[in-house]
Structure 1
Amino acid sequence: MRLVSILFSGFLGMMLFSGGAMAQDTLIKSKKASSSKMVRAADDLKKSLDVDDDAKIAKNYEALAQELIDKEEYAKAEEYLKKALASYNQLDQKKDKARVTRKLAKVQENQNKINSAIMNYQAAGAVAKDKDDEQLNLNDANRLRYDNNPAAQSAFNKRNIQLLEKENKKEEAADAYVQQAEMNLQQKNKEVAIESYEKAISFSKDKPEAVAKLTNKIAKVYELDNQFDKAIAINTNLLTEARAKQDFDTQITQLQSLATLYFKKDEPGKAVASLQQAYELASKQGNTAAVKKSLSQLLGYYKTHGKDKESIALYEQFFQNFEKLIQSDSALVDAKTFHVTEEKIRQLEKEKILKDELISKKNTFNYFLIGSIVLLLLFFGLIVKTLYSIKTKNKEIALQSLRREMNPHFIFNSLNSVNQFISQNKELEANKYLTSYSNLMRNMMENSNKDFVTLGNEIEQLRKYLDLEHLRFQDKFDYQIIADENLDIETTFVPNMIIQPHLENAIWHGLRYKESKGMLLLKFTLKKGKIGVIIDDNGIGLTKSQELKTRNQKVHHSRGLTNTKERITLLNELYKTNITFNVSEKITPETGTIVEINFPLLDRI
């Protein structure tokens, strides 16, 4: 008999392990996939990892953790809640972070990880969406700090019950009442504990499984208080309801609970009968865990009371139905399916981590590459800007140099004119000429560093210059300056010293050689947003002027025109203007030259 007991106990201990091995064949042969919620949750998680959808991954981690919480597998639930929290952190979803952090704290509390639970309750409160949720979490954190003081814990828990009832959070309110009942039991207040459990039931009416579990807790309170009849009445009532609903798992649980109560009440016949019913029902439903529990209790009773014949009969019956039991246990199939799915989840998580690392490295390299390109472009841009600045500065220097080139004929002939006036004892004319000459030279020097001057300033300068030349050649020409009345000569800007060289050419190479007295016209017009400058003389013309010139005069005239063209080119490049210049000879019967210069209308530089 002792050998039978040893063998029997060994097989009971190995039953679930053997079932796990045999369940693989069952899984392969099965035509129908498991309908377990936990298996479905694991499968959903696997699919979301497979498509790398971060939002769904976070949601499915949480869903799987919830299924594990419902099965009271808190260690695994904690693992998946941490992964869900990490995903929500990455997605920066604060509402989800607060909810999952609170769940994590509860799971850790159920595992007696008090310090971790306190930290997570505080973290949940820090990211809570409103003040009530924040206070709820802080109350739980403070409750756990008074782990050895049920009265203080009860006070914090009651505050939470008030908040939860106000917000109509039924599930959490039920949990809080369960906690309150456990604190009442610690304080040896069984009646208040039962009231708390009944309150929890009132918040769980839409969840029959939760109601049954809470009702069993009330029966346990009566059992602890040796009120076995009340406990038996509760379990019997639950058994009747389960039979009406054909809830076989609840029937088995209630039969086992009744057996325990009957043993304590010293009614072994009823206890054995309940265990036998539980065993037969568990065998029929393929519930190996329930079969193991029932058989263990029966074997213990038979062994204690020396009922060897009953033990052997039970042993033979068990082995006859063993294979059938294992093959029909959907829980084992679900466990194996979940195990296989979980392995795939682990592999997909590793692949995702590797993929994320590769993406991160690729992004880092891309950022480095982009940064390097940007730096190179900035460096290249700086070089271009520097070269452009140097080029612009060189153009400004060249323009200034060209502008400061004085016509040597003007200076030389002006001095000759003064000398001539003095030799002829025309002191008044010489003094007048020198005064005008000095004023003109002073103004020319003051404006020598300016690329543009007002039209009024330019006309005044040209008038002074023409006055000097007219004083020298008063019998050779007269002049006239006309400005369009639509031009505001005080606010309109023109290039400095562009016109003067052409007036000088008109006088010295055209009008000076004319036998009769000539006319020089300087005219400023406004047309289509442009200033037109016309220098019109009726001198001997370009052709005859070239015939009369000495070699030195030809070189000077050529340089004067070149200077003007170079300055116009530089002004157009530096200021993006469109200055045009043209020289033409008049056709008979009248001789002479016309110079046309067009400036854009500028009111500021």
Structure 2
Amino acid sequence: MKLLFKIILFITLAIGSSSFAQDSTKVSKVLKSASKIRKAVDNNDNKTVADTYVSMANDYYGQGNYAKSEEYLIKARNLYQNLNDKKNLEFVTRKLAQSQEKQNKISPAILNYSRAADISYSKENKSINTNDVTRLSSPSKEERAEAIQSNIDISRKDNEKADLAASYSQLADVNIQQNDIPKAEANLKSAYTISKKQMEPQQALEINQKLTNFYVENKDFDKAIEAKKKVLKEDFVKDNSQKKVEQIQELADIYIKKK
């Protein structure tokens, strides 16, 4: 009970003025983007409108608001199609697939990965998108693992760290299905380390949560607590009161489950 009281007190103290500052920054960015779009529309500059939609979609994606990200990516995709801007169309189609996958909209995600593969400008991009189609559609665990490993190899070569972290996390999912617990743990740890170093806070938090859930499901509560305490020390959590509260609540839940 004393421990739970301390945790609840910590949550209360964590909520402060920084939350207001963060919300103000978000509002300011939205207003700037809206102003930019309005001016571009007035000047019939659809390219700038599309680029701004992508910027807004990326912001929402980074916040974990994948539905809103999808909404703006669809707007951008339609404009790039009308402009016949194939290079940006490839990028936005893949990002759209990723946003849909994050929402567990698997069928449309497969369709958009396939579309991105069809219009890819490089062999590597085509392979990455084709591998993602295989990863989401193949009934074979071995084929899915091979496709993910191929993406890992490509991402390492191209130094695409965010994609590399995502691939390690995806490979861990297959490892769990194969009941290969040591590999799953190692790949989740690799994914977390990469995303943290690349300052991808939303990705790092999602991977940390997956790692924590993995430990809890395997009744390894001490490792789950250790993982959650580790993320609480990260600057991207310490400097964000909302994220800090969420992580402390998660930690409290683990302590309750351990009891």
Task: State if a TM-score over 0.5 links the two structures.
Answer: yes
Q: Which runs of 4+ in 1 moved over 6 A?
A: none
Residues 1:47 and 1:144: Cα distance change in structure 2 (over 3 Å): same
Residue 255 of structure 1 aligns with which residue?
248
CA distance in 2, matches of 1:167, 1:69: 22
Residues 1:45 and 1:176: Cα distance change in structure 2 (over 3 Å): farther
CA distance in 2, matches of 1:166, 1:74: 28
CA distance in 2, matches of 1:206, 1:106: 18
Residue 34 of structure 1 aligns with which residue?
24
Larger radius of gyration between Structure 1 and Structure 2: 1
Residues 1:102 and 1:45: Cα distance change in structure 2 (over 3 Å): same
Residue 94 of structure 2 aligns with which residue?
102
Give me the identity figure in percent: 33
- Using the TM superposition, give the Cα deviation of residue 54 of structure 1 relative to its aligned residue in structure 2, in angstroms: 0.9
- Using the TM superposition, give the Cα deviation of residue 211 of structure 1 relative to its aligned residue in structure 2, in angstroms: 3.3
* 1:134-189 deviation line (CA, Å, top 9, x unaligned): 1111111222221x433321221111111111111111111111211222223333
CA distance in 1, matches of 2:108, 2:180: 29
Tell me whether 1:66 sits opposite 2:91 in the alignment. no
Judging by fraction of residues, say which structure has more strand.
1
Partner amino acid, structure 1, of 2:66: Y
Residues 1:208 and 1:117: Cα distance change in structure 2 (over 3 Å): closer
CA distance in 2, matches of 1:133, 1:63: 21
Describe how 1:581-596 pairs up with structure 2 within 5 A: none
Residues 1:116 and 1:66: Cα distance change in structure 2 (over 3 Å): same
Residue 75 of structure 1 aligns with which residue?
67
| Secondary structure of the corresponding residue to residue 179 of structure 2 | coil
Stretches of structure 2 lacking an aligned partner (at least 5 in a row): 1-19
So what's the TM-score if we normalise by structure 2? 0.79
8 Å contact 2:162–2:198 — kept in the other structure? no
Residue 178 of structure 1 aligns with which residue?
169
CA distance in 2, matches of 1:166, 1:265: 42
Partner amino acid, structure 1, of 2:177: Q
CA RMSD of aligned residues (A): 2.6
- Using the TM superposition, give the Cα deviation of residue 98 of structure 1 relative to its aligned residue in structure 2, in angstroms: 0.8
Instruction: Report which structure shows greater RCO (CA 8 Å, sep ≥6).
Output: 2
CA distance in 2, matches of 1:89, 1:221: 42
Describe how 1:120-159 pairs up with structure 2 within 5 A: 120-146=112-138, 148-159=139-150
CA distance in 1, matches of 2:101, 2:47: 27
- Using the TM superposition, give the Cα deviation of residue 91 of structure 1 relative to its aligned residue in structure 2, in angstroms: 1.7
CA distance in 2, matches of 1:173, 1:106: 14
Partner amino acid, structure 1, of 2:45: D
8 Å contact 2:67–2:103 — kept in the other structure? yes
Residue 113 of structure 1 aligns with which residue?
105
Partner amino acid, structure 2, of 1:248: S
CA distance in 2, matches of 1:203, 1:232: 21
Residue 161 of structure 1 aligns with which residue?
152
Partner amino acid, structure 2, of 1:131: K
Residue 224 of structure 2 aligns with which residue?
231
Partner amino acid, structure 2, of 1:57: V
Residues 1:115 and 1:261: Cα distance change in structure 2 (over 3 Å): closer
CA distance in 1, matches of 2:236, 2:136: 41
So what's the TM-score if we normalise by structure 1? 0.36
Residue 82 of structure 2 aligns with which residue?
90
| Secondary structure of the corresponding residue to residue 136 of structure 1 | helix
CA distance in 2, matches of 1:262, 1:152: 38
- Using the TM superposition, give the Cα deviation of residue 85 of structure 1 relative to its aligned residue in structure 2, in angstroms: 1.0
CA distance in 1, matches of 2:132, 2:32: 29
- Using the TM superposition, give the Cα deviation of residue 246 of structure 1 relative to its aligned residue in structure 2, in angstroms: 4.3
Stretches of structure 1 lacking an aligned partner (at least 5 in a row): 1-29, 267-605
8 Å contact 2:237–2:244 — kept in the other structure? no
